[in-house]
Amino acid sequence: MWFNGRAREAAEFYVAVFPNSRILSESTIAVGPAEGGAVVEFELEGQRFEAFDAGAEATFTLAISFNVACETQEEIDYYWDRLSEGGATTQCGWLEDRFGVSWQVVPAMLGEIMAKNPGRVMGALLEMEKLDIAELRAAAASE
């Protein structure tokens, strides 16, 4: 993950948001255009990531995003609130965090809910920013 002078800050933020997460190592870029920048390896829920300070020429886009599958509404609320803090939100559970990284916070059972009534559930989904499990289930049950 390419950050512009904020690799350590980003890694610390993500580790604070996700339980069972930790910073594994930090080093400094020794030579080249990003000399002096940080390289931070961290782990979120068993998945390893690497953040590095390499300048402003590359930015994050929606084309690469992370999915957070949540079992409960409380989890959705938690991740939505924490990850969107200082960022921006949009429809269908999508948000961009303060570093420009895109996330989609969804119910883990979204596929199951969607299968019951795809048209109604998709209609409800398109009306929401933060997803609401009860509303999605109600849409699935509607005629």
pLDDT given at position 50: 96
Specify if 7 maps to a domain: yes
Q: pLDDT for 8-27, tens place per residue?
A: 999 999 999 999 999 999 99
How far apart are the C-alpha atoms of 68 and 53, rounded to whole Å? 25
Scored b (16 or more CB within 10 A) or e, 47-57 reads eebebbbbeee
Same structural domain for residues 37 and 82? no
Tell me the residue range of the domain where 17 lies.
2-53
Same structural domain for residues 110 and 71? yes
Specify if 24 maps to a domain: yes
pTM of the model: 0.92
Q: pLDDT for 86-142, tens place per residue?
A: 999 999 999 999 999 999 999 999 999 999 999 999 999 999 999 999 999 999 999
Total domains in the chain come to: 2
CATH code of 43's domain? 3.30.720
